[in-house]
Amino acid sequence: MSKIDDLFNNLRRNNQKAFMPFVTAGDPDLEFTADLLRTLDAAGCHLVEVGIPYSDPIADGPVIQASYTRALDAGVKLDAILEMLKSVTSGISMPVVTMVSYAIIYRVGIDDYLDKAIAAGVSGAIVPDMPVDESAELAAKCKERDFSLIQLVTPTTPRERAVKIAQQSSGFIYYVSIAGITGERNSLPSDVVENVGWLREQTQLPICVGFGISQPEHAEMLKPVADGMIVGSAIVRRIGAIEDGTSKEGALADVSAFASEMLSTINR
């Protein structure tokens, strides 16, 4: 059982849903990211997705792309990110998963990446550019280490393929609510509840929904079928305000207040 498995088992026993923020490592710097992770943990977030900056991100909208560019321009490197996470994870309760391109894992080497990530206290990885047909080796090595491999199902994924993805995944399934890029939206597709409900019947794994979620109303809509909600752009945008003159302390307070509001909605 991984740390993520334990988390969702506890949430289910208590009839609660997970709130999972996304943050970009190194935006605007790694010291701030460390403070941000501690702030999100203190606010009660259940787990956190840490984006490893990449020059050619998959399906990320302009807000997250801009955050990756800021981090890369600042010279952020993978080893420094993992060192930062190692200094933080022992002091927080929420599991950490990385959103990381397979190109990065491949360059480092699967075994080396997993060993370094685990040593840093990371509990799993979301690998958006890893097709399920090519994920067997990575999935097997993650399973050996009780390291969760979270894979994505989208509204356009054929149902037979969605079942195959669920079988190859561990920790939870990341359901992409929209056929498009990340970003805040006023409304979610009308069929998202039906689609997640169908997927729920195919697997015992928890299902977390991301892309476009930015308002408490979205959480209310998804609560009947989802095990958790993932919010990225709404948080990354608040952090990006630092570039426009907002203080780091002010950005942390804004993120904390937003996370608390979403948590209250999800589990009231």
* Alpha carbon distance 182, 117 (integer Å): 25
Report how far apart, in Å, the C-alpha atoms of 189 and of each of 8, 31, 176, 179, 205 are. 26, 37, 11, 9, 23
Say if CB 81 and CB 24 are below 8 A apart: no
* Alpha carbon distance 163, 159 (integer Å): 6
CB-based contacts of 28: which residues, under 8 Å, 6+ apart? 70, 71, 74, 239, 242, 243, 248
Half-sphere exposure of 265 (CA within 13 A, CB side): 20
Helix (H, G, I), strand (E, B), or coil: what is residue 51? Answer: strand
Active site residues: 49, 60
